[in-house]
Chain A
Amino acid sequence: MATTDDHMLDDLRMQAEAMTGPASLPRRDDNEPIFDEPWQGRLVAVAIETVASLGVSWEEFRRRLIDAIDTDPHRNYYESWLIALEDLVGSHTLASEQELDDQRMTAASYRTTEQDPEDLEVFPIALGEDTLLELLTDVFTNHWQTIRFGPLIQGAAFELVATKRPKLSMLDGYLTVDIGDSHFHLCIGEQAGLSGRPVDPALARRRRCAHAELQRQWSGGAPCTWMFRMFNGDGDQMITILLPHPFLDSDDQVLDEPDWLRLQLWDQLRKRYLGLPTDPTDRLGDRFVHT
Chain B
Amino acid sequence: MTADHDHDDDHGHSHYDTPGSRRARSQLELRAMALEAALVENGVIHTDAIDFFTDAMEHRFGPHHGARVVARAWTDSAFKQRLLDDGNAAVAELGIGGLEGNVRVVENTPGTHNMVVCTLCSCYPWPLLGLPPLWYKSFAYRSRAVAEPRAVLREFGVELDDSVRLQVWDSSSEVRYFVLPDRPEGTEGMSEDELAALIDRNAMIGTGLVSLP
Give the B-binding residues of A (Cβ under 8 A).
1-3, 6-7, 9-11, 13-14, 17-18, 30-33, 35, 37-46, 48-50, 53-54, 76, 78-79, 82, 85-86, 89, 94-95, 99-112, 119, 121-122, 124-127, 211-212, 218, 221, 274-276, 281
A86 to B121, CA, bound (A): 28
Contact across chains for B7 and A100 when beta carbons are under 8 A apart:
no
Interface of B is mostly: loop
Count residues of chain B with CB under 8 A from any CB of chain A: 57
Which B residue sits closest to A12, measured CB to CB?
B121
Chain A CB within 8 A of B156 CB:
no
User: Given A46-B45, A274-B27, is A6 in contact with B15 using a C-beta cutoff of 8 Å?
Assistant: no
Residues from chain A with a CB closer than 8 A to the CB of B12 are 102, 105-106
| Top 10 A-B residue pairs of the complex, sorted by shortest distance between their CB atoms | A275-B27, A103-B34, A41-B57, A95-B38, A2-B173, A45-B53, A124-B24, A2-B101, A126-B24, A104-B34
Give the A-B pair count, Cβ closer than 8 A.
193
Which B residue sits closest to A7, measured CB to CB?
B173
Partner of B32, one of A6, A82, A105, A121: A82
Nearest Cβ on chain B to A149's Cβ, whole angstroms: 21
Nearest Cβ on chain A to B16's Cβ, whole angstroms: 5
User: Given A49-B45, A53-B45, A221-B7, is A110 in contact with B15 using a C-beta cutoff of 8 Å?
Assistant: yes
Residues from chain A with a CB closer than 8 A to the CB of B153 are none
Residues from chain B with a CB closer than 8 A to the CB of A276 are 30
A50 to B40, CA, bound (A): 10
Chain A CB within 8 A of B92 CB:
no
Residues from chain B with a CB closer than 8 A to the CB of A38 are 54, 58
Chain A CB within 8 A of B163 CB:
no
Residues from chain A with a CB closer than 8 A to the CB of B16 are 110-111
Contact across chains for B122 and A10 when beta carbons are under 8 A apart:
yes
User: Given A11-B121, A104-B31, A107-B33, is A49 in contact with B49 using a C-beta cutoff of 8 Å?
Assistant: yes
Nearest Cβ on chain A to B48's Cβ, whole angstroms: 11
